[in-house]
Structure 1
């Protein structure tokens, strides 16, 4: 890797890191201030706040790894340093994925309309359902951590003792990563189901409006479409993120100081950074406060430099 390309990689990593931090810190500060002012918090705000915190930690892990890759790739060979970074990588990815899945389920239960008794039961107990999902995800997280610790210890011990050939180490690494990646399968399927049922509810709702000779641009239709856009954006981003995460797990193992590996690292910033701004634009409260902040900054710049347009 040429020194100039390493410098460009570090600059781009820093820019993506700052953009992501600004978006997630903004969400966290706004929701925390609203919670303090109102002396209470809603389930929606709780999910968004947890999501902002988990993404900040995720971005920090990504940035630390970017610094190591750009400055000195040999530090990854140190087991005492690689082990906690791998653990933090796993925890932050897990929490972020499950929290956004909880957000998708929240949109479904809050907006969709079905006459089935099971849906009414879930809708009536929405808070408990979301909290149960979070508890379920923590169980998966504990299992992931235990598996990760076992695989890491076994892998590094055998490599250090020289008992494994290169082919055997690759095979073990692929098997362990495949097993650890299974925890992503459940939240992605749940989000796909949420999108499907939201679409189904929208179709039924639009059909009822047409049968009753009513316009289709009512509040419920807009809410359906807005929720579908949010869930669809999450699914697209999380699938791309999942693909690049799996590529990163393999490439970091064998080809750390590689241009393609650094490109994968840059692509990993897109999900925690880009989706936070989608949430800001998709939420009226966050969007209005963001516009106020931008207008305030613009007026402050004009006062400091009255000659500027």
Structure 2
């Protein structure tokens, strides 16, 4: 096993463990709150659904990475590749749109504008988020069709040489598939970006009003704006990094046909859901307080066990 493969597996397993713990913590805290209080708010539902889909996504990506790393010939027929592709596409779609709906929910819940359209949307924000999420399944259908066409073309050009995997007779079909799939995710990106910009404009407006009234600019409403903007901005930044790396790795795969490009895509497929879970925990007061209590108990238990 080469050094690059060893590094890849150390990073991949580390991201898998951290991502499972982070997303599992979010789901567990919200479910415990549901059992205790008997109610499940919209934001709790979105956070829990996002965490659970990302846990499934991590558990799909890990065995997929294991097969690519040690048994790439299993993908030669395309059937196993199709199964993993469908499962991964479904969960990645759900995770992306749950995060997008969370961004839109933060915007409608926190921002304040006098525009009649915004007021109408704000009063119906749960319905708005639901309609957007259900409408996204049309994009999922298109994505699955493209992926299926990709696998069929893959079966005709896939060859295995000893331990390395290479592609023979690569055509422009792969580039077109990657481009169309990337365009599909432009929609949730633009929706989240719009939410972030409007949240910023709402914060600027609110801050100016406080300054005119000579009030403290660090009120709870301002802090809610900033926490929401941090969460949305982190999601957008990670999404940009993820797709930039994937598109770059795909170009390397198409043009240079390097096996390492596939490992990079697999690794960053875990980085996104793993890192974002901890950003959500830090940006959510309830989750942050629960995490601090657990860390406090662990620290206290560690002191008691010392001789």
Q: TM-score, normalised by structure 1?
A: 0.89
CA distance in 1, matches of 2:6, 2:299: 32
Match in the other structure for 2:76: 77
CA contact (8 A) 2:253 2:261 kept: no
Match in the other structure for 1:306: 306
1:3-50 superposed Cα distances (whole Å, 9 cap, x missing partner): 343233212211111001000011111111211222221110110011
Change (3 A) 1:173 1:263: closer
Say what the alpha-carbon RMSD is for the aligned residues. Answer: 2.3
In the TM superposition, residue 264 of structure 1 has moved relative to its aligned partner by 4.1
CA contact (8 A) 2:143 2:181 kept: yes
Change (3 A) 1:24 1:115: same
CA contact (8 A) 1:69 1:256 kept: no
CA contact (8 A) 1:244 1:268 kept: no
1:114-134 superposed Cα distances (whole Å, 9 cap, x missing partner): 000100000000100111111
CA distance in 2, matches of 1:89, 1:254: 25
Alignment of 1:213-232 (within 5 A): 213-232=214-233
Match in the other structure for 2:8: 9
CA contact (8 A) 2:77 2:155 kept: no
SS in 1 for 2:210: helix
CA contact (8 A) 1:238 1:271 kept: yes
In the TM superposition, residue 250 of structure 1 has moved relative to its aligned partner by 5.3
Aligned residues: 299
Match in the other structure for 2:163: none
CA contact (8 A) 1:21 1:56 kept: yes
Match in the other structure for 2:277: 276
Match in the other structure for 2:200: 199
Change (3 A) 1:47 1:249: farther
SS in 2 for 1:181: helix
Match in the other structure for 1:136: 135
CA contact (8 A) 1:73 1:256 kept: no
Change (3 A) 1:158 1:17: closer
1:41-92 superposed Cα distances (whole Å, 9 cap, x missing partner): 1110110011001111221222122212332333332311111111122122
In the TM superposition, residue 239 of structure 1 has moved relative to its aligned partner by 0.7
In the TM superposition, residue 93 of structure 1 has moved relative to its aligned partner by 1.7
CA distance in 1, matches of 2:22, 2:249: 24
Change (3 A) 1:27 1:281: same
CA distance in 1, matches of 2:253, 2:17: 23
1:210-244 superposed Cα distances (whole Å, 9 cap, x missing partner): 22222211121111122111111111111111222
Alignment of 1:1-309 (within 5 A): 2-153=1-152, 155-156=153-154, 158-159=156-157, 169-249=170-250, 258-303=259-304, 305-307=305-307
